[in-house]
Amino acid sequence: MERILEVNDLHVTFTTYGGTVQAVRGVSFHLDKGETLAIVGESGCGKSVTSNAIMRLIPDPPGKITKGSVIFKGQDLAAYSEKKMRSIRGVDISMIFQDPMTALNPTLTIGTQLMEGLKEHKKISGAQAKAKAVEMMNLVGIPNPEERLKQYPHQFSGGMRQRIVIAIALICDPDLLIADEPTTALDVTIQAQILELFATIQERTGVSIILITHDLGVVAKIADRIVVMYAGKIIESGSKREIFYESKHPYTQGLLHSVPRLDAKEELKPIAGTPPDLFSPPKGCPFTARCPFAMEVCDKVYPAPEKISDTHYVDCWLQDERAKRLLAANVLQT
């Protein structure tokens, strides 16, 4: 399969008055053509910062990519000039934001906002742009496109606006779509419709998708692979099946337990405690303070990624051979 994106050892920091926030601390993952990768994790773990770093949309100052590479179709975006990066944004990589109520400019018509990316990057006539805009409105399921293009954002509902945002993101036929919590601000029925729309679009255009969310229900519906982030690091990654049914990391397991299930009678068990302060992140496993299995070594040394299968990796001392032997011994003793 063709490799679209490869993020290697990405580090992002924010310098503030209070000190330096190490928001992303060595994140690596990859994405193939036509694949949907979900990034999950608690609020503040660095999901948005990671995706903004790929787009190079980190506000600088205070943010900075201090280390790492973002290889998109063989080119390192982290080393691109700002001008060269502009020719990538919206054309090869597009982005969808969380809140459709604020993502559209209230003072410009939908048509203007839809076509401006196209006009900026491709040499096409006004009529061609209009035709493409109508085509996109049809694709995302907005009736009467011709007339709707002349309207302003306030004349559309939230779900409609998110469809428009998706149309804007797709109008230049990007290879990669980064959706940062695209359904969080919508109500449940609209959420389902938008997720369906993603599936349809991917089928038709073959676009690769990075989906950021803390809603595992959404992940279950459309992701192929999942990476789990915690305190600026990826602590487990694997196929959807591997993460949902064979997760190895205590944090991932806790996350799965904190998902409400329709069929389960048992109570919700959110993970107790809070993530560490990213101003001075611990040098060992950042989950130590909350982990029911924490060992002495956990606090001191960060666990190296352990390979479970070709697609399944986990950063946890429990997977270390020595820990396994120790556990087995403990079980025998009792």
Partner 1 sequence: MLKYIFKRLLIMIVTLWVIITLTFVLMVNIPGSPFNTDQSSNATVQANLEAHYNLDQPYYIQYLLYIKSIVTFEFGPSIKQPNQTVNDLLSRGFPISFELGIITIALAVVSGVLIGIIAALRHNGFLDYLTMGIAVLGISIPNFILATILIQQLAVNLEIFPAATWRSPAHMVLPILALATGPMAIIARLTRSTMLEVLTQDYIKMAKAKGLSPWKVIFKHALRNALMPVVTIMGTLFAGILTGTFVIEQIFAIPGMGRYFVESINQRDYPVIMGTTVFYSAFLIIMLFLVDIVYGILDPRIKMHQKGGRSR
| Interface with ligand SF4 (CB under 6 A) | 249-250, 285, 287-288, 291, 293-295, 298, 303, 316-318
- Alpha carbons 283 and 260: distance in angstroms, whole number: 33
- Residues 215 and 198 sit within 8 Å (Cβ to Cβ): no
Interface residue with partner 1, options 137, 140, 165, 176 (CB under 8 A): 165
| Identity of the residue, 48 or 319, whose beta carbon is nearer to Mg ion in the bound complex | 48
Q: Is 95 in the site for ligand ATP (CB under 6 A)?
A: no
Q: Return the one option of Mg ion, partner 1, ligand SF4, none that residue 94 interacts with (CB less than 5 to 8 A, by type).
A: partner 1
Q: Select the span of 90-98, 271-279, 313-321, 325-333 touching partner 1 (CB under 8 A).
A: 90-98
Q: Is 126 in the site for partner 1 (CB under 8 A)?
A: no
CB of 96 vs Mg ion, minimal distance in Å: 12
Q: Return the one option of ligand ATP, Mg ion, partner 1, none that residue 95 interacts with (CB less than 5 to 8 A, by type).
A: partner 1
At 310, phi and psi to the nearest 5?
-60, -30
- Residues 46 and 23 sit within 8 Å (Cβ to Cβ): yes
Q: Is 168 in the site for partner 1 (CB under 8 A)?
A: yes
Q: Return the one option of ligand SF4, Mg ion, partner 1, none that residue 57 interacts with (CB less than 5 to 8 A, by type).
A: partner 1
Q: Is 62 in the site for ligand ATP (CB under 6 A)?
A: yes
| Identity of the residue, 113 or 162, whose beta carbon is nearer to ligand ATP in the bound complex | 162
Q: Return the one option of Mg ion, ligand ATP, partner 1, none that residue 44 interacts with (CB less than 5 to 8 A, by type).
A: ligand ATP
Q: Return the one option of ligand SF4, Mg ion, partner 1, none that residue 103 interacts with (CB less than 5 to 8 A, by type).
A: partner 1
Among the listed residues 201, 188, 90, the one whose alpha carbon sits nearest the alpha carbon of residue 140: 201
Tokens of 293: 């299995």
Find where tokens 């993502």 sit: 103
- Alpha carbons 245 and 236: distance in angstroms, whole number: 13
Q: Say which DSSP state 90 is in.
A: T
- Alpha carbons 54 and 225: distance in angstroms, whole number: 18
Binding to ligand ATP in span 233-292, by CB under 6 A: 278
Q: Return the one option of Mg ion, ligand ATP, ligand SF4, none that residue 298 interacts with (CB less than 5 to 8 A, by type).
A: ligand SF4
- Residues 292 and 254 sit within 8 Å (Cβ to Cβ): no
- Alpha carbons 106 and 101: distance in angstroms, whole number: 9
| Identity of the residue, 1 or 188, whose beta carbon is nearer to partner 1 in the bound complex | 188
Rg (CA), the chain: 21
CB of 128 vs partner 1, minimal distance in Å: 18
- Residues 187 and 104 sit within 8 Å (Cβ to Cβ): no
Q: Say which DSSP state 104 is in.
A: S
Going through 62-155 in order, the beta strands assigned E by DSSP cover 63-72, 75-76, 93-96
Tokens of 85: 């990066």
Q: Cα dist. 319→124, 236, 304 in Å? A: 56, 12, 10
Q: Return the one option of Mg ion, ligand SF4, ligand ATP, none that residue 49 interacts with (CB less than 5 to 8 A, by type).
A: ligand ATP
- Alpha carbons 256 and 269: distance in angstroms, whole number: 9
Interface residue with ligand ATP, options 59, 61, 260, 292 (CB under 6 A): 59
**Interface positions with ligand ATP (CB under 6 A):** 14, 16, 21, 23, 41, 43-49, 59, 62-63, 214, 278
**Interface positions with partner 1 (CB under 8 A):** 55, 57, 86-91, 94-95, 97, 99, 102-109, 116-117, 120-121, 151-152, 154-157, 159-160, 165, 168
